[in-house]
Amino acid sequence: MRKVMSNMNWMILALLAVTMTAVAQQSASAPQNPQPVAVTPTEPTAAQPSQAQPGPAQANLAPPTTMDQVVDRVVLREKELIKFLAPRTPIVETYLQNLTQDPQLGPVPQDDHYFLGRMDLSQSIDRSDYLQDKGKDEGMEKHLLGEFTKKFKFQYQPLGFSWMIFVDRNDFDRQHYDFHYARREFLGDVRCLIFDLTPKKDAGRGRFLGRIWVEDQDFSIVRLNGTYARPTRNSYYFHMDSWRLNLIPGYWVPSYIYSEEGDFTAGAKNKIAFKAQTRMWGYNLKTGTAADELTNIRVDSVKDDTPTAQDATPLAAEREWQQQAEDNVVERLERAGLLAPEGDVDKILQTVVNNLEITNNIELPRPVRTRVLTTSPLETFSVGNTIVVSRGLIDVLPDEGSLAMVLSHELAHIVLGHNLGSQYAFNDRMLFSDEATYQNLGFKHIPEEETAADKKAIEMLKASPYAQKLETAGLFIKALQARAPQLSALLQAHLGNNITENGTVTRMAQLGTSAPALDWNKLDQIAALPLGGRVKLNPWDDKVEIVKAQPVAITSARDKMPFEVTPFFPRLSRYSAAGAPTATTAAAPTTTTAPATTTTAANADSSATN
């Protein structure tokens, strides 16, 4: 059978490290290039009606003929984007790993930080956090641009990581910046003009310094790469590489930002070394105002499809009640932007669950459903008959067997009747702000139930088609154990049980003991993948899909990067009505639903890890 997901495909993206632009080489006082440059006017294509493509103010503008006119258009487009996004409050997630030098593996995580919030783009750029005991210095934080301060060691400003969604929120114009045209370049399918930007001498602090990529039809910025100019004595601005996606007609939406600092050359004294991924999504979520909450109260979510009006038996009522709680939770999480809408990834997870159920003769009154949590921390939980797995956890799992391991634990909870969350059948419990989700919902089992679920899960795995594939699952546990002490933020579950306790893997730990020795130098031993390689989250509508990319060979132990963050390198393409860039076309490898065939290909499966 084919694998659930293609392995390591996207590795090349990480290797194509983003080259920082040599802005310093440009003379800051070089005059604007006034000569006419051949900017090809874009020919309207038949397939894409012109009214669907450009932004509102764009349609009646003549194509620019000089670079100065192009710059004016870029500035106009950026202002239109800022206006367009002003009423939106997307979710912003930053996951950061501080690095230390490992003689063999290079820079590896030393510890980590996680920030999750919602951005308010209306006046300035602001954010409110989902996580408690964060954002204590909220008032001060608002005024800091993408910087971290030295005052108390290094204090990261979560807001700073999202600052580079725009070049300059307030003063992106020719009065504050010099634009130097560099050249053309394709980013994915999109032809771009590249400009190097330097702030004017008297433009003040916190001005963008770096390079922008502008697509050559509407002149929207699609990528920004650089930093902010003139750090103060007690603070630095960090470097960022910021990407936008054309997810809706006429606008390129800020989606990913990669940040990295640190110098690992011999003799370098790192004051700070980290890499961080910032993701934005939930642009199309409703703003969670109190009024909005009230209009969304569900008066009655139970469909009465039995016209005979018979009362439910006690057991039927109990199940109905649990179903109601489950529906409430799923709906509420989706509304908060924390759960992806049902989609193709669920079908893959569902197939693995089915394989486990069929081979174990599990028959439940209601089918088990699966959903993807949109966040990075590695966690799972179940509510009623819905199993939820985080995007980050699916990313790092090396193969289908390890996915089966993860799902089997939650399936075991369901089979054993470890029902949590029936209190959420009361609708008043759904009335909280999105940012308070983690304080209002929780699905943690007591330790006894965790142990029982592990035991039952291993039983089920051993009777399943995955019985022959548990070595890699065990290696995953070992890799997790090796990295757990450094990755406490990534391993902090926010809704379910932690996979580790105090730096030790507790979940399914038994599988680790029977696995082969973990060997980072063995290039064909892939125990865990970096973050971001499998699941692609659409920032506009929160849909998730499996990444389709060609496999890239691992050539050194440093290529493995288990659980690590890497730069982003999305393949850019223009929006098309037929299928947005993240359209859920069914090109992702799928699993077979016939468990009998999965056992026969166990060997082929384990060799396909390059």
**Where on the chain is the footprint of Zn ion (CB under 5 A)?**
445, 450, 453, 497
Spell out the SS3 assignment of 370-437. EEEECCCCCCEEEECCEEEEEHHHHHHCCCHHHHHHHHHHHHHHHHCCCCCCHHHHCHHHHCCCHHHH
Considering the complex, what minimum distance in angstroms separates the CB of residue 498 from Zn ion? 10
Considering the complex, what minimum distance in angstroms separates the CB of residue 413 from Zn ion? 5
Select from 535, 94, 489 the least CA-distant residue to 279. 94
The values of phi and psi at residue 575, to 5°, are -65, 135
Name every residue whose Cβ is closer than 8 Å to that of residue 432 and which is 6 or more positions away in sequence: 293, 439, 440
Residue 192 CB-density burial (10 A; 0-12 exposed, 13-18 middle, 19+ buried) = buried
Q: Which is nearer to Zn ion, 174 or 455 (CB)?
A: 455
Q: Which is nearer to Zn ion, 349 or 453 (CB)?
A: 453
Is there a contact between 146 and 237 (Cβ–Cβ < 8 Å)? yes
Q: Which is nearer to Zn ion, 144 or 393 (CB)?
A: 393
Q: Which is nearer to Zn ion, 157 or 380 (CB)?
A: 380
Considering the complex, what minimum distance in angstroms separates the CB of residue 81 from Zn ion? 43
Q: Which is nearer to Zn ion, 406 or 561 (CB)?
A: 406
Q: Which is nearer to Zn ion, 211 or 456 (CB)?
A: 456
Query: Three-state SS for 335?
Result: helix
* Other beta carbons less than 10 A from residue 433's beta carbon: 17
Considering the complex, what minimum distance in angstroms separates the CB of residue 502 from Zn ion? 17
Task: Map tokens 């930093």 to a residue.
Answer: 227
Query: Three-state SS for 179?
Result: strand
Q: Which is nearer to Zn ion, 408 or 582 (CB)?
A: 408
Is there a contact between 148 and 238 (Cβ–Cβ < 8 Å)? yes
Q: What is the distance between the alpha carbons of residues 376 and 50, in angstroms, rounded to a whole number?
A: 38
The DSSP bridge partners found for residue 353 are: none
- Strands 504-505, 274-281: pairing kind: unpaired
Select from 108, 103, 135 the least CA-distant residue to 274. 108
Considering the complex, what minimum distance in angstroms separates the CB of residue 381 from Zn ion? 7
Considering the complex, what minimum distance in angstroms separates the CB of residue 442 from Zn ion? 13
Could you give the residue ranges of the DSSP H alpha helices within 431-522? 437-440, 447-462, 470-483, 509-513
Considering the complex, what minimum distance in angstroms separates the CB of residue 453 from Zn ion? 5
Query: Three-state SS for 562?
Result: coil
CA atoms within 13 A on the CB side of 569: 17
Taken in order 23, 206, 236, 569, the sign of the CA dihedral is negative
Considering the complex, what minimum distance in angstroms separates the CB of residue 332 from Zn ion? 21
Considering the complex, what minimum distance in angstroms separates the CB of residue 212 from Zn ion? 47
- Strands 190-199, 221-229: pairing kind: unpaired
Considering the complex, what minimum distance in angstroms separates the CB of residue 448 from Zn ion? 11
Query: Three-state SS for 62?
Result: coil
Q: Which is nearer to Zn ion, 257 or 353 (CB)?
A: 353
Considering the complex, what minimum distance in angstroms separates the CB of residue 499 from Zn ion? 9
Select from 79, 103, 286, 106 the least CA-distant residue to 168. 79
Name every residue whose Cβ is closer than 8 Å to that of residue 494 and which is 6 or more positions away in sequence: 130, 131, 375, 377, 379, 438
**Distance in Å from the first CA to the final CA of the chain:** 17
Considering the complex, what minimum distance in angstroms separates the CB of residue 450 from Zn ion? 5
Considering the complex, what minimum distance in angstroms separates the CB of residue 480 from Zn ion? 15
Q: Which is nearer to Zn ion, 162 or 497 (CB)?
A: 497
Structure tokens at 351: 């197939």
Taken in order 385, 391, 396, 401, the sign of the CA dihedral is positive
Name every residue whose Cβ is closer than 8 Å to that of residue 197 and which is 6 or more positions away in sequence: 23, 167, 177, 178, 179, 180, 208, 209, 210, 211, 212, 226
Q: Which is nearer to Zn ion, 85 or 393 (CB)?
A: 393
Q: Which is nearer to Zn ion, 79 or 445 (CB)?
A: 445
Considering the complex, what minimum distance in angstroms separates the CB of residue 380 from Zn ion? 7
